[in-house]
Structure 1
């Protein structure tokens, strides 16, 4: 039987409902292919590299950070046996991102009560509504710090850069922004006057509940219990265990609203930033199917560990609002233990050669630290190198692999419902998880001359990886292994496709 196949919706004339242009230069096609936020990564992995008792100070650079999940996981995982200090530079070109990160770090550093700080950080980052207590905490501990800077630069020109360093015991936070951005920082703490609890909830659901087909295409991969949890979060946007009272959450989160409009995209999900396989192993008590309860437990634990490290050792954070490729002009070379830059050439960003040229010199050379690493991510290189239309012979092999991991029906195999039918979408996602992605990524590396770019900039790809698996989201088990079907089911339920590829780099000179 010949099967009709149109891989990844690439040949359909219909524009997907979940296409969005606003992705820092990404095309419609890119959003269509599902560029989700990657699960949080510990970019140090000190135990597997320098060692738990490493005697030198650690200097980390998150060159295009996005939110703080990688910072929180990395710092929170530093072992107690490490006795040095930590210096973390966090940069992003988007002011709203930098502003949110600064406020979350100020809460982590300036609020004396551990529990209050952790819960405030959690809901600032993940919930559409906050409690009055969270707002009071911000107004008492954070707003005066920002207001003091704004008052002092009142007479300066709008484009003037102003640097401010706050000290909190053994810790410090340095923030460099233009005057305009310093003033805008206050708006991230202010609920717009026209935004009431009801209007905020309506603005939120106008986005999250608007596109039924997009929602159902996400739900199709989940168990019924998880669909209920996801529906609850789409309705209220509050990260709490299922059934917990939402009564206290009456203050719209100003970081998530632009005036009276919800500023987040409708396909964004909180568990995107965390590995679903790890989330499902978390203990959420008796409610074993409470998906967002597990995320709540995981995020709270990560923030608690992060806060614990800040309380136990000296740390210095520096936040900047610059283009990543300009960092080499302002930061000292041969300095950083790790550099993370996960916006790479396959997303319309600087090509690999430029990333190595501009960020490579900032990394410690092998004489200073043989384990110093630049971490990069490629999310759709495989897509770019996959043939269209996809060969029938390879498609049949992939369908045969899927058939060993999940039951296939005639309706699936014949494309009943068309290329946009639920069954065909599910089969498409399933085949992506078993695709021979290494073959296509090798072609990508050849086309973009990775080896030549590395040699020209005194860099080399690390073999083996010591920080993260090259393909962390791909199904690893063979179909005959115990647990293979469960692993496949979990990967299929995530927002990833298994083609996300990390590359670790080291300096050679």
Structure 2
């Protein structure tokens, strides 16, 4: 039986609008504090409500009456294709609520971006590429960490194309991990008969990024109900608001982590993630407590909603938002708008009234949204797989965030299952990549199973190869000696910002005007086929970066690498660039076995649309694989 008085007290504390009052979350919370023990026990309970959707439900939801149809949604609204109903009767009853979305102006094929309507140049073109890049890093609305990633998750092992041995133990390092998506994808991609041991080192210099990953691992590894674990983890990761019961579950897990980390005995060094997997955290207790401080702050739901809408609908960024909408099919415009309004990853017609507690890991202690205004959970996953998973659960491709919900539920359920099946040890740190390498080589982490003698089969470095981070020399020289000597051992990463110093690698700079003119007419026809008619110049303005997907930038890229002194770096570290990649292709959507100049491939119109228009990106990103000579 729940302690209703204690539950009510904690609920009122979470709902308190005053920012002065806080729930303590540091170690002193465990000194005679019944709330801590209660919340930890609550986190371990098996009877929490499961809000997970196994299939698309009827969209007949009445929030005011707290009523919703529990039947499957099998009849699609033929106009918007964003919602489904179990019957004509439910559709008729729900029409008064649904018609606002079904008749939204964004659905019109005649919709035009605001700068075209107002007869002016869009603000995102008012400066050159260097100034624009500089502005992105100084404007408040476009600043902040990306807690969801901006590149599709990748499998950094690709076992069939490399070791091809399902019994081999693997040691993997994600030295600038960001969120958990590459780890999830890598483990889920291992063959079903994989029986080796996995040692996975995860590091991010931002403590709260590492701590979010820590919570995700504990949720997925310790909640016995796989579906519940996946649903809580999904919303903790991606939704701006949580159900109260999920908030309580996460709070209990955080307190469990803090109590474990505060323990003095040796058993406190190892946190079990089920019967076979283990989590070891090499972060100082004070870093963990500081990272979780926001979670104990009593954020106001009203104020955080106002802040969220301020970030998502800022008038000064209208041109940027309309550029996004201009690239989308009309039905997807409304889907994107729906997610940007609610901040919750769910099917379009699903009830989210019970998602009323701010996700404090996505807001600062004073209630400010932490990420950039265009942060989007879709950016971290392959849209082909997202749409396929959504359809398998009854969602339509037009309801793209509904598809994402079902995809993530499947992906995280599989990951939770593999945590129980495989022998995995996770080590989490919060250092710079350079400091981490130095600490390992100085044997600083031997007691945590990371001795100076350790060698990694994969070292994934993200895009810290870019000069605005650590750069090629800093990354390769620090990590080459920690790479295993096996033929498959690889340091892999990508360059995202290299064209800022090598302009001829980016068509959107306008350096190749003939090429731009050559594709303008073809581009206008393509946009018209997508339902976006109008001035070809205006259409091209919204899609200039996508021209890079049609452009071979291998020669400019090699010139850039040479300017960075690549030959000398490789000679001193006794590494080489792999010409034919075996883990990830040279470019997104290019063939894995393709040459350096291979172009991205789009087999049909939908493939082009989802990868260039829905996901966005620059299409100048280039991947590299370093291996021993």
After TM superposition, the score normalised by the length of structure 2 is 0.69
Residues 1:268 and 2:268 are matched in the alignment: no
CA contact (8 A) 1:49 1:371 kept: yes
CA contact (8 A) 1:406 1:485 kept: no
Could you tell which deviates more after superposition, 330-339 or 436-445?
A: 330-339
Displacement of 1:440 after TM fit?
1.6
CA contact (8 A) 1:461 1:503 kept: yes
CA contact (8 A) 1:402 1:434 kept: no
Displacement of 1:354 after TM fit?
2.2
Residues 1:50 and 2:163 are matched in the alignment: yes
> Aligned in 2, Cα 1:403/1:197: closer, same or farther, shift over 3 Å?
closer
Distance 1:183 1:235 in 2: 31
CA contact (8 A) 2:171 2:456 kept: yes
CA contact (8 A) 2:171 2:458 kept: yes
Look up the match of 2:622: 501
Aligned 1:69-468 pairs, distance under 5 A = 69-150=181-262, 164-167=269-272, 168-190=274-296, 192-193=297-298, 195-210=299-314, 211-259=317-365, 260-284=367-391, 285-331=394-440, 332-333=452-453, 335-365=455-485, 369-387=486-504, 390-399=511-520, 402=523, 405-406=526-527, 411-413=535-537, 422-468=538-584
> Aligned in 2, Cα 1:301/1:9: closer, same or farther, shift over 3 Å?
farther
Distance 1:205 1:138 in 2: 25
CA contact (8 A) 1:59 1:87 kept: yes
Structure 2 SS opposite 1:256: coil
Displacement of 1:188 after TM fit?
4.7
Distance 1:185 1:446 in 2: 40
Distance 1:12 1:42 in 2: 32
Task: Compare CA radii of gyration and give the structure with the larger one.
Answer: 2
Displacement of 1:436 after TM fit?
2.2
Q: How many residues align?
A: 472
CA contact (8 A) 2:275 2:420 kept: no
Q: CA RMSD in A?
A: 3.3
Could you tell which deviates more after superposition, 211-220 or 94-103?
A: 211-220
> Aligned in 2, Cα 1:55/1:36: closer, same or farther, shift over 3 Å?
closer
Higher relative contact order (CA 8 A, sep 6+): 1
Look up the match of 1:38: 151
Q: Which has the higher helix share?
A: 2
Could you tell which deviates more after superposition, 180-189 or 372-381?
A: 180-189
CA contact (8 A) 1:36 1:495 kept: no
CA contact (8 A) 1:60 1:87 kept: yes
Structure 1 SS opposite 2:609: helix
Displacement of 1:458 after TM fit?
1.1
CA contact (8 A) 1:103 1:142 kept: yes
Where structure 2 has 5 or more consecutive residues not aligned to the other structure, the ranges are: 1-120, 441-451
> Aligned in 2, Cα 1:352/1:186: closer, same or farther, shift over 3 Å?
closer
Distance 1:219 1:170 in 2: 46
> Aligned in 2, Cα 1:244/1:482: closer, same or farther, shift over 3 Å?
closer
Displacement of 1:327 after TM fit?
2.1
Displacement of 1:16 after TM fit?
8.6
> Aligned in 2, Cα 1:360/1:8: closer, same or farther, shift over 3 Å?
farther
Distance 1:61 1:22 in 2: 33
> Aligned in 2, Cα 1:9/1:277: closer, same or farther, shift over 3 Å?
farther
Displacement of 1:431 after TM fit?
2.2
Query: C-alpha offsets along residues 343-384 of structure 1, whole Å, 9 cap, x if unaligned?
Result: 23435112212211111111101xxx2111111110122343
Distance 1:220 1:295 in 2: 21
Structure 2 SS opposite 1:261: coil
Distance 1:356 1:19 in 2: 28
CA contact (8 A) 1:93 1:322 kept: yes
Displacement of 1:107 after TM fit?
1.1
Look up the match of 1:160: none
Distance 2:191 2:344 in 1: 32
> Aligned in 2, Cα 1:94/1:467: closer, same or farther, shift over 3 Å?
same
Distance 2:159 2:294 in 1: 35
Where structure 1 has 5 or more consecutive residues not aligned to the other structure, the ranges are: 154-162, 414-421
Displacement of 1:334 after TM fit?
5.5
After TM superposition, the score normalised by the length of structure 1 is 0.84
